[in-house]
Amino acid sequence: MPELTRLASPLDIGGVRIRNRVFLAPMSGVTDERFRQRAHAHGAGLVVSEMVASGELAKGRAGCDLRIRHSGLPIHMVQLAGREAAHMAEGARIAAGEGADIIDINMGCPAKKVTGGYAGSALMRDLDHALSLIEAVVGAVAVPVTLKMRLGWDESALNAPILARRAEQVGVRMVTVHGRTRCQFYQGKADWRAITRVKESVSIPVVANGDVGSPEEAATILDQSGADAVMIGRAHYGAPWIAGSIAAAAAGISAPGIPETPQAIADYVVAHYEDMLSLYGIESGLRQARKHLGWYLDRHAAGVSAEQRKRVLTSFEPAEVIRGLRDALADIGMSNELRSAA
């Protein structure tokens, strides 16, 4: 996989040196501080905050400070979303004031609650307005500004190359393209070859995103898109080490910290759970952690009984959740060992 080896090399984004070219995508409700710290520890080249609503950030709404808080990692990258230039500029200034090294602008989110407010990928329907937001952010901060988008709103308006070119002209230093339109949401297969048209339109780095979860897929998306790096999102559900494992494969080394035995996986999941309770507090942490625990069970204990799963995902007692997790993962691990022995 000759294309894969390129991912092990550093990448410069507006003067910020990134250690490799395999990135963790920003995901709302997923890539919080604890998740990013784990992905970075496993070797991801770049990790991005959850999307932060610039209007709420500018108005000082509760919870936004946690999303933009510096996580102690070498590079702090914050993603902003919004539709008002003043709010986007102020949000960027606040994020930079909190130590953000890179500001990313979201023009790719397909969620109805975002596009319904004319933010996210809805901005691809009005490129002049989209550019006014980009110019506001670039003009507000001294740190590099990047942009994440989709191929377009729908198949009749595949305008990502135009948006990328205009964004570069006003100062954006990198663009990431998810190989679907907004109207596709996450259906079908991402069109990796379509990203080539964006790469041919700009001289800044282009990052390819969509349906990558293995070294083989990473090599293929690079080959088909001509992109400079890859960004990986949903493949991280229940596996914060995916980007790091691909970066390690590109470098011909072993990724650090990946749990491999049932006991190690159980310890890892419990530690992540306890980290989330510490970050959010018990009441909020219980709710925030449930989707992660569900993903861990889906990936590592798919045969767990409905009763065990319910115990883990509905209990309000952390100690009971932890016991349930360990029981579920231990049971699956024992079943796997018996199957192997047979």
CA distance 101 to 95: 9
Query: CA dist 67 to 54, 186, 304, 324, Å?
Result: 11, 25, 33, 29
DSSP single-letter state for residue 28: T
> Cα 32–121–94 angle (5° rounding)?
45
Instruction: Choose, from 13, 16, 51, 109, the residue flagged as catalytic.
Output: 109
List the one residue out of 270, 225, 251, 320 whose CA is nearest residue 45: 251
109 is catalytic: yes
CA distance 194 to 178: 10
- On whether the CB atoms of residues 26 and 148 are closer than 8 A, the answer is yes
- The whole-angstrom separation of Cα 48 and Cα 78 is 6
Contact (Cβ atoms closer than 8 angstroms) between residue 160 and residue 198: yes
Token representation of residue 66:
């946690």
Nearest alpha-carbon partner for 125 in 87, 89, 156: 156
Quick check: helix, strand or coil at residue 223?
Answer: helix
Q: Give the Cα separation of 247 and 22 in Å (integer).
A: 6
> Which of 159, 223, 173 lies closest to 202, judged by CA?
173
Question: Nearest to residue 152, comparing CAs of 178, 186, 115, 117?
Answer: 178
Return all residues near 125 (Cβ < 8 A) that are at least 6 apart.
Answer: 153, 157
Q: How many CB atoms lie within 10 A of CB 148?
A: 26
Q: Which of 81, 94, 26, 29 is nearest to 55 (CA)?
A: 81
Residue 77 pairs with which residues in a beta bridge?
Answer: 48, 102
What is the token pair recorded at 292? 């992660």
Residues annotated as catalytic (active site), given as ranges: 109
